[in-house]
Amino acid sequence: MLSVISLNNQVKVIEKECPVLQPNYVLMKTHYSMVSPGTELTSIRRSGEEPVSLGYSASGIAVEVGENVEHIQAGQQVACYGAPYVNHSEYLLVPKHLITPVPNHVHLIEASAAGLGAIAIHALRQSNLIFGECAVVVGLGIIGQLVARIAEAAALKVIAVDLIEERRRALADVPGITVCSTMREVEEAIRERTRGTGADAVFHCASGLQKQLLDDSFDWIRDRGKIVIVGDMVMEFTRAQMFKKEADVIISRAGGPGRYDKLYEGDGFDYPIGYVRWTEGRNTEEYIRLLSEGRISVRSIISKTQPVLDAAKLYEEFASAPQQILGGVITYGA
């Protein structure tokens, strides 16, 4: 089977053996896998002589179902999330908690963003926002787009900002979101939509060193509001800014509880729902439910598809002209 890896800072497509079914796992034939450009470009830059598999979010058809897997049947549409089990490969062997059914009326290309959707959902859960509160989303890359759309579907007041026009335009099909191009517009929108009380939370979905932006966001929130770091952002800010609002600064870790826990992911032990309501697996299911019920759509986010054999070209475009591609999907000839 074909698989996309990074080796010595270069993207390559290689032949690998197809995985063999195990208990608690599902063997999936991949139709689509979505690129997470921030995470994956970083992996490419850091790669050395040992090959690194790229990707963590995909969709396809369940080919075989292992023992102790009850919620998936062979031949069913499915979506999955979570490296190292999920990557850009023609076939994937996925633990049962990281794979979820996809109704037949949901297109698999939208379902391929299930992993990124789980990350966006977990970030919103970390904020503890409730119906009617105000969320500001900074950075409208793929994760920011999903955070904004899901927040709007949850009946939050959403204000979104990005300097890149194409990213702002992608939210034009979502009524109810106030889209801004400058920080001044953000401040005005917050005053208008909160009657001057301030936003309840700001979600930073950008990356890199953004100290001034982070400092400014403390002025946007209400007293004891929240700053949620979703992107790979350098955590540098002025203490006085945080102190005057007694703000909470929260790091959102991937798709939710269970991530990086071998017992949960690899060995199939679930967290009791009475103690952990929303695991990464349950968040992935929720993303698919939102698609299924038409509460969100991500078609306008997907701006580029590339066959797996030409996957390196997609990464080259992301690296050289990131403003031209929002959502990139690798296809597998399905």
For residue 214, what pLDDT is reported?
Answer: 83
Consecutive 10-residue runs of the chain (334 residues): their mean pLDDT?
95 96 98 94 91 97 97 98 97 98 98 98 97 96 96 97 93 92 96 96 81 86 94 67 79 92 95 96 98 95 95 93 86 83
Establish if 43 belongs to a structural domain.
yes
* CATH number of the domain enclosing 284: 3.90.180.10
Phi, psi torsion values for 12, nearest 5 degrees: -135, 150
Give the pLDDT confidence score for residue 212 in this predicted structure: 80
pLDDT of residue 242: 66
Separation in Å, CA 247 to CA 19, 161, 169, 240 = 47, 21, 31, 11
Give me the pLDDT at residue 209, please: 53
Phi-psi region of 225 (alpha: psi -120 to 50; beta: other; left: phi over 0): beta
Residue 287 to residue 291: CA distance in whole angstroms = 7
Last residue of a domain, which of 224, 251, 278? 251
Domain contains 6: yes
- The per-residue pLDDT for range 114-136, each reduced to its tens digit, is 999 999 999 999 999 999 999 99
Measured CA to CA, the distance from residue 80 to residue 310 in angstroms comes to 23
Range of the domain at 263: 2-113+257-331
| Residue 131 sits in the same domain as residue 244 | yes
Q: Within a domain: residue 119?
A: no
pLDDT of residue 235: 65
Residue 242 is assigned to a structural domain of this protein: yes
Q: Which of 211, 230, 251 is the last residue of a domain?
A: 251
Name the token pair of 331: 């296809």
Alpha-carbon span 220 to 92, nearest angstrom: 44
Total domain count for the chain?
2
Are 215 and 239 contacting, i.e. CB atoms less than 8 angstroms apart? Answer: no
Q: Which two tokens stand for residue 312?
A: 């390196």
Residue 121 lies in a domain: no
**Domain's final residue, options 225, 251, 277:** 251
Is residue 73 in a domain?
Answer: yes
Per-residue pLDDT, 93: 98
